[in-house]
Amino acid sequence: MVTLIIGKKGSGKTKKLIALANEAVAKSQGNVVVIEKGAKLTYDVTHKARLIDTEVYGIKGYDMLLGFISGICAGNYDVTDIFVDSTFKICAEGVDGIADFVEKLDALSNEAQANITMLISSAEADLPAGLKAECVEI
């Protein structure tokens, strides 16, 4: 399942992600992965979650991010939750292409049986209609 946490900049999306990631670690029987741009969550997310900085791996754009997340799922069968902070900072395309990306991510999520949560800095009204994801507006 893909969940989009949406809201304008400064609305508390990252705090929500931190809380969700820490809760997931507490109840998960597998691994929790947090993908971020820059290493800003190091002291906020529990050390039991795997923090990954996209800048280290040169991840830019939806295609690269999809491939990266696919690789995480392929390399570790027991990933239960994946959280992506600052999606539009990683994927400069922004709203353009997000519907296709979320559709592919949803198929991956179902195949890998992993919950994927992404933070989107946008109002729900600005996103394309028909996104195949649960949207939670902050």
Reported as half-sphere exposure (CB side, CA atoms, 13 A), residue 47 has a value of 0
- What are the pLDDT digits (tens) for 49-72? 999 999 999 999 999 999 999 999
Domains detected in the chain: 2-137 (3.40.50.300)
What's the Cα-to-Cα distance from 33 to each of 1, 9, 75, 96, rounded to whole Å? 15, 23, 13, 25
**According to the model, what pLDDT value does residue 138 have?**
72
Token reading at 118: 């992404």
Maximum CA extent, the chain: 37
- What are the pLDDT digits (tens) for 69-100? 999 999 988 999 999 998 999 999 888 889 89
- Burial class from Cβ neighbours inside 10 Å (0-12, 13-18, 19+) for residue 47 reads exposed
The answer to whether 45 and 34 are in contact (CB under 8 A) is yes
The whole-model pTM stands at 0.91
